[in-house]
């Protein structure tokens, strides 16, 4: 299978989709060639490919983060709930309430565990009183599979947690905004195998709860474990996409075959 032949009509069929999205850095270097992909609620899509192929560049299009990079141009359309958000009118503050992002390095605030969770919801006026705040803290930490480990130390510093726990706290913090899309940019690359396993389980549960997850990963086994769909990028092209099982068991494009068999990467 090659690039999705996504039209405006098909774009409307997905919670989120990109149609011919391109990215140019420094107004010249096209790091991402026209890319069309659709993403649905309750699924996890893995973006794979060798270093520098454009995975993170593509991921950052979805929540318009590339806009913050000077001299970076994003072309094409990014449909979210049926309307194109790749326009200068789009309100980034509003968009990022519902499209959350988790980064490679855990980035907890220098605050208590509780305050990490409540920071964004308070800023957006979403927590009224103490009971509501307590419920949101518990719900978010449970969703990120961290509640049992931290329930007795919610007022302690988040920085005292292990790296894996910090990453799950960052996931909980994202979930506290009740997003319908969560983007993960190599979320386990700074973690040991046990923490990686915990974060992978968490991502799978988040997708199963109905949220649309998109994950950039270098780890093929991780892509197989967490994702329903996979898209393979190579030198700025989205070369092949499909059900994860199909992509790994029956790759069509020779570049993907070479990547999966370790000929480059
Ligand atoms: N802020 C930037 N300014 C200029 N060029 C950039 C910038 N970010 C990425 N690039 C370039 O765009 C291309 C794609 O990079 P990107 O980080 O998206 O790839 P990637 O597949 O995520 O790589 P990796 O797996 O190593 O993180 C590379 O050539 C990279 O050097």
- Which ligand 1 atom lies nearest to the CA of residue 25? 4
pLDDT for 29 equals: 86
Write down the mean pLDDT value for the chain. 93
- Which ligand 1 atom lies nearest to the CA of residue 216? 22
Q: How far, in Å, from the CA of 57 to the mean position of ligand 1? A: 6
- Which ligand 1 atom lies nearest to the CA of residue 218? 25
Mutate-to-test residue for ligand 1 from 24, 53, 183, 214, highest number of ligand atoms within 8 A of CB: 53
Homologous superfamily, domain 8-260: P-loop containing nucleotide triphosphate hydrolases (3.40.50.300)
User: What confidence tier does 7 reach under pLDDT thresholds 50, 70, 90?
Assistant: low
> Per-residue pLDDT tens for 40-89?
999 999 999 999 999 999 999 999 999 889 999 999 999 999 999 999 88
Q: Kindly report whether the global pTM for this prediction surpasses the value 0.90.
A: yes
- Which ligand 1 atom lies nearest to the CA of residue 233? 21
User: What confidence tier does 197 reach under pLDDT thresholds 50, 70, 90?
Assistant: very high
Residue ranges lining ligand 1, Cβ < 6 Å: 25, 31, 49, 51-57, 69, 218
> Per-residue pLDDT tens for 96-132?
889 999 999 999 999 999 999 999 999 988 888 999 9
User: What confidence tier does 11 reach under pLDDT thresholds 50, 70, 90?
Assistant: low
Answer for the pair 37, 55: CB distance below 8 angstroms, yes or no. no
The tokens describing 224, both together, are 């197989």
User: What confidence tier does 263 reach under pLDDT thresholds 50, 70, 90?
Assistant: confident
pLDDT > 90 fraction of the chain, expressed in percent and rounded: 83
pLDDT for 27 equals: 87
Answer for the pair 27, 73: CB distance below 8 angstroms, yes or no. yes
User: What confidence tier does 156 reach under pLDDT thresholds 50, 70, 90?
Assistant: very high
pLDDT > 70 fraction of the chain, expressed in percent and rounded: 95
Please give the Cα distance from 23 to 57 (Å, whole number): 7
Does the pLDDT at position 4 exceed 80? no
Q: How far, in Å, from the CA of 25 to the mean position of ligand 1? A: 9
Q: How far, in Å, from the CA of 56 to the mean position of ligand 1? A: 7
> Per-residue pLDDT tens for 239-257?
999 999 999 999 999 999 9
Please give the Cα distance from 191 to 163 (Å, whole number): 7
Mutate-to-test residue for ligand 1 from 23, 25, 215, 236, highest number of ligand atoms within 8 A of CB: 25
Q: How far, in Å, from the CA of 21 to the mean position of ligand 1? A: 16
Q: How far, in Å, from the CA of 22 to the mean position of ligand 1? A: 13
Q: How far, in Å, from the CA of 147 to the mean position of ligand 1? A: 36
Please give the Cα distance from 7 to 68 (Å, whole number): 28
Distances (CA, A) of 167 to 27, 183, 198, 246, 251: 34, 13, 10, 30, 32
pLDDT for 8 equals: 65
pLDDT for 2 equals: 42
Q: How far, in Å, from the CA of 124 to the mean position of ligand 1? A: 32
Q: How far, in Å, from the CA of 145 to the mean position of ligand 1? A: 32
- Which ligand 1 atom lies nearest to the CA of residue 23? 12
Residues whose CB is less than 8 angstroms from the CB of residue 112 and which lie 6 or more positions away in sequence, other chains included: 154, 155, 156, 157, 158
Does the pLDDT at position 13 exceed 90? no
User: What confidence tier does 207 reach under pLDDT thresholds 50, 70, 90?
Assistant: very high
């Amino acid at each position: 299978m090659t690039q999705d032949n996504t039209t405006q009509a098909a774009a409307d069929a997905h919670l989120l989709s990109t149609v011919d999205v391109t990215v140019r850095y420094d107004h010249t270097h096209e790091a991402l060639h026209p890319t069309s992909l659709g993403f649905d609620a309750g699924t996890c899509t893995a973006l794979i490919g060798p270093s520098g192929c454009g995975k993170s560049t593509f991921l950052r299009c979805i929540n318009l983060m590339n806009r913050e990079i000077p001299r970076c141009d994003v072309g094409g359309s990014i449909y979210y709930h049926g309307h194109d958000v790749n326009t200068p009118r789009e309100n980034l503050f509003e968009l990022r309430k519902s499209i959350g992002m988790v980064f490679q390095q855990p980035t907890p605030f220098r605050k208590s565990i509780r305050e990490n969770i409540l920071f964004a919801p308070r800023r957006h006026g979403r927590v009224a009183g103490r009971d509501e705040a307590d419920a949101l803290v518990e719900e978010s930490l449970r969703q990120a599979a961290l509640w049992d480990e931290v329930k007795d130390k919610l007022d302690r510093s988040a920085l005292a947690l292990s790296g894996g726990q910090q990453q799950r706290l960052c996931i909980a913090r994202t979930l506290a905004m009740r997003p319908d899309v969560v983007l993960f940019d190599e979320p386990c690359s700074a973690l040991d195998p046990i923490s990686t396993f915990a974060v992978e389980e968490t991502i799978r549960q988040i997708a199963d709860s109905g949220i649309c997850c998109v994950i950039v990963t270098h780890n093929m086994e991780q892509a197989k474990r967490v994702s329903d769909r996979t898209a393979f990028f190579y030198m700025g092209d989205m070369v092949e996409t499909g059900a994860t099982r199909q992509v790994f068991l029956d790759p069509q494009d020779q570049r993907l075959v070479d990547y999966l068999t370790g000929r480059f990467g």
